[in-house]
Structure 1
Amino acid sequence: MKTTIAKALFNSHPYLEYRKLVSDLLLENKSTGHEQSDDLTHYSSLNETRMNRLDKTITISDENKQKLSRLKGEYIWLVISEGWCGDAAQLLPIVEKMAIESGKIELRIVLRDENEDFMKLFLTNKSKSIPIVVIIDKVTGSVLGKWGPRPKGATELIENYKKEFGVIDETIKTNLQMWYLYDKGVSTQNEIIDLMQLLNQ
């Protein structure tokens, strides 16, 4: 496991480098990942716009800033992502700002399809759902915990829709984006900070 983590860290990108990677691929009409299609490129382009907006508008509450500053130790948040993933686009700007506010967390982003062995360690119900925030102790390199692929409220929204209609279609994808819009990153902040505080006990 340690070799797999070390390899994923070696292949990972800081936030701005990841953003540039996605942007550069879009200029070639491509998305990240092994699979290429017009749909995936379209989603990557939408996500680019979302992330540009969220980078400017997302805020960390004063209470959460204090909690982050009180964390003991130093950490790496290694996030598994792809440019076409709508949930990742909503969540990465939040975790980036949280990492900066803490002063104790380094954010790195690793691409799912290029790091299959690492992804297999963090499956959700046997599926390669992303994003996943993998929390690593910076000193020992050991994995302390993980969070993702969505906040609880967003997960429930998807699960309830799937139970009722049996599919994940454009309607629920739109509803999910609206959920994120109204939540303003609060659930993600609270859930990840609760986990970090638990790991600090």
Structure 2
Amino acid sequence: MNWHEYLQQFEEILSHNINTAPYNDPHFYEYTKLNQSRMNRWLKTAPLQTPLIEALQAIELPQHWILITEPWCGDAAHLNPFIYKMSEVNELIHLHIQLRDSGSEIDHYLTNGGKAIPKLIIRNESGEDLLVWGPRPAAAQAYFYELRESKLTTEEQKTALQQWYNQDKGQSIQQEFIQFFSDFPIDMHAVANQKQL
């Protein structure tokens, strides 16, 4: 699906037009409602950094971006808007969204054996992976592991991570992609040069 179809997915869930698992669980319904609000905030208020825009504008060959995600995912609500904004900078970037639990490619891109999302795969026009990114910026992932080892409850851990995203304001994800595009030529094709962030 494309980005606008993904946004429509939220509307379908919140209008109860989709009430299959997990959205028949009130908790997942509320997660989705909250995530829609988070995404809308970032879409309206968070600009891309100039160096990132320039790097994206320099892309000269088609790239296929596959974003694996789900509306209920709290991390995705803070990160997907920036991925979408990046994809809009250059018409050579084609963004396609896969829902993790609906026949996605996530089994090929596990994180420590788990289906953590969001996960972004950038491919060249030959279908070779240039970058596999996710499920979080490195700083957020380190904080996630720190929280997991703490004595905080699961809900307290979730709240702390959401606060991290609010304070970061999308700066970390942008810096990681600035670094990626500065490290590699945009027209790379060799799978041997694939980089995992």
How much does 1:145 deviate?
2.1
Which deviations, in whole Å up to 9, do the C-alpha atoms of 1:7-48 show, x marking residues without a partner? xxxxxx111110001211211075786574111111001001
Q: 1:63 to 1:134 in 2, by over 3 A?
A: same
How much does 1:71 deviate?
2.5
1:134 matched to which residue of 2? 121
Partner Cα distance (1:32, 1:65) in 2 = 39
Asked whether the equivalents of residues 51 and 178 of structure 2 are also in contact (C-alpha less than 8 Å), the reply is no
Q: How many residues align?
A: 186
Q: 1:162 to 1:183 in 2, by over 3 A?
A: same
Residue identity in the other structure for 1:171: E
Asked whether the equivalents of residues 23 and 29 of structure 2 are also in contact (C-alpha less than 8 Å), the reply is no
Which deviations, in whole Å up to 9, do the C-alpha atoms of 1:147-187 show, x marking residues without a partner? 0000011111111111222x761112111111111111111
Partner Cα distance (2:130, 2:10) in 1 = 29
Partner Cα distance (1:157, 1:29) in 2 = 36
Residue identity in the other structure for 1:132: K
SS of 1:52's partner is helix
Q: 1:175 to 1:32 in 2, by over 3 A?
A: farther
Matching of residue 162 in structure 1 with residue 155 in structure 2? no
1:92 matched to which residue of 2? 80
Matching of residue 120 in structure 1 with residue 98 in structure 2? no
Partner Cα distance (1:104, 1:192) in 2 = 17
Q: CA RMSD in A?
A: 2.0
Asked whether the equivalents of residues 77 and 107 of structure 1 are also in contact (C-alpha less than 8 Å), the reply is yes
SS of 1:141's partner is coil
Partner Cα distance (2:4, 2:160) in 1 = 28
Residue identity in the other structure for 1:192: F
1:56 matched to which residue of 2? 44
Partner Cα distance (1:174, 1:29) in 2 = 29
Which 10-residue stretch deviates more, 122-131 or 175-184?
175-184
TM-score, normalization by structure 2: 0.86
Instruction: Name structure 2 gaps, 5 residues minimum.
Output: 189-197
Q: 1:125 to 1:61 in 2, by over 3 A?
A: same
Percent identity over the alignment is 34
TM-score, normalization by structure 1: 0.85
Which 10-residue stretch deviates more, 118-127 or 106-115?
106-115
Instruction: Name structure 1 gaps, 5 residues minimum.
Output: 1-12
Structure with the bigger percentage of helix:
1
Which deviations, in whole Å up to 9, do the C-alpha atoms of 1:91-129 show, x marking residues without a partner? 11101111112333121110001125x110000000000
2:161 matched to which residue of 1? 176
Asked whether the equivalents of residues 32 and 84 of structure 1 are also in contact (C-alpha less than 8 Å), the reply is no
Partner Cα distance (1:94, 1:17) in 2 = 17
Map 1:186-197 → 2, pairs under 5 A: 186-197=171-182
